[in-house]
């Protein structure tokens, strides 16, 4: 016997649960990244965005209230993969000159995932008539875009510094490919 056909309302709720889980994981990953970061500007960006992400979790709880559903998390396989990759990269690069560049790259992968999800949720909320939810989701979407832009700027500086450090320690100061 076939189950009830799922609709956009169901997709919205399931994706909201997914993002709720992802955002909670993001807070943990950002705190861990802040502790691991050597570059002060990167550490500060992680700490600031961890606080911002905690507020984003609260905003998601408001969205659940707006749609009349309990705030429940559903395991987000994408976020688990991204955080597992970060853990692996921390092991591989944790003490090297590329460590902060790799951390910034991992953080941007998380931001890009969140940007995609929040953009989708915002659109669906508007289509479903949840105007207040759409505004809340857009607020978070704009914060995620701003964080991604900041990480890009920091990464450019870190990458140059890491390359210069690597070049200076290579044979005779020669740059290697």
Q: Assign 167 a pLDDT band (cuts: 50, 70, 90).
A: low
Q: Assign 175 a pLDDT band (cuts: 50, 70, 90).
A: very low
Q: Which of 7, 11, 6, 5 is nearest to 120 (CA)?
A: 11
Range 127-156 average pLDDT: 97
pLDDT tens column, 12-43: 999 999 999 999 999 999 999 999 999 999 99
Q: Assign 163 a pLDDT band (cuts: 50, 70, 90).
A: low
For residue 72, pLDDT beyond 70:
yes
Q: Which residue has the higher pLDDT, 94 or 51?
A: 51
Q: Cβ(81)–Cβ(117) under 8 Å?
A: no
Q: Assign 45 a pLDDT band (cuts: 50, 70, 90).
A: very high
Q: Give how far Cα 60 sits from Cα of 122, 139, 156, Å.
A: 12, 11, 32
Range 142-147 average pLDDT: 97
| φ, ψ of residue 80 in degrees (nearest 5) | -60, -40
Q: Assign 176 a pLDDT band (cuts: 50, 70, 90).
A: very low
pLDDT at 11: 97
pLDDT at 174: 44
Q: How many CB atoms lie within 10 A of CB 48?
A: 14
Burial 103-138 (b: 16+ CB within 10 A, else e): bbbbbbbbbebbbebbebbbebbeebebeebbebbb
Torsion of the alpha carbons at 163, 86, 48 and 45, rounded to the nearest 10: 10
Q: Cβ(30)–Cβ(52) under 8 Å?
A: no
pLDDT at 157: 85
pTM: 0.86
> For 135, what's the count of Cα atoms within 13 Å in the CB-facing half-sphere?
4
Q: Assign 177 a pLDDT band (cuts: 50, 70, 90).
A: very low
For 166, residues 6+ apart whose C-beta sits below 8 A from its C-beta are 97, 98
pLDDT at 89: 86
């Amino acid at each position: 016997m076939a189950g009830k056909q799922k609709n956009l309302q169901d997709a919205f709720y399931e994706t909201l649960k997914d993002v709720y889980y992802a955002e909670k994981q993001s807070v943990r990953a950002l705190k861990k990244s802040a502790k691991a970061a050597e570059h002060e500007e990167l550490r500060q960006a992680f700490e600031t965005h961890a606080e911002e992400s905690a507020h984003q979790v609260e905003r998601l709880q408001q969205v659940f209230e707006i749609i009349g559903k309990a705030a429940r998390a559903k395991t987000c396989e994408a976020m688990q993969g991204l955080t597992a990759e970060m853990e692996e990269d921390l092991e591989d690069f944790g003490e090297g000159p590329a460590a902060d560049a790799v951390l910034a790259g991992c953080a941007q992968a998380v931001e890009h995932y969140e940007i995609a999800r929040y953009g989708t949720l915002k659109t669906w909320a508007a289509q479903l008539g949840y105007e207040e939810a759409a505004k809340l989701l857009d607020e978070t979407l704009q914060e995620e875009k701003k964080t991604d832009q900041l990480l890009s700027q920091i990464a450019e500086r870190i990458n140059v510094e890491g390359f210069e450090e690597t070049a200076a320690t290579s044979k005779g100061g020669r740059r290697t490919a």
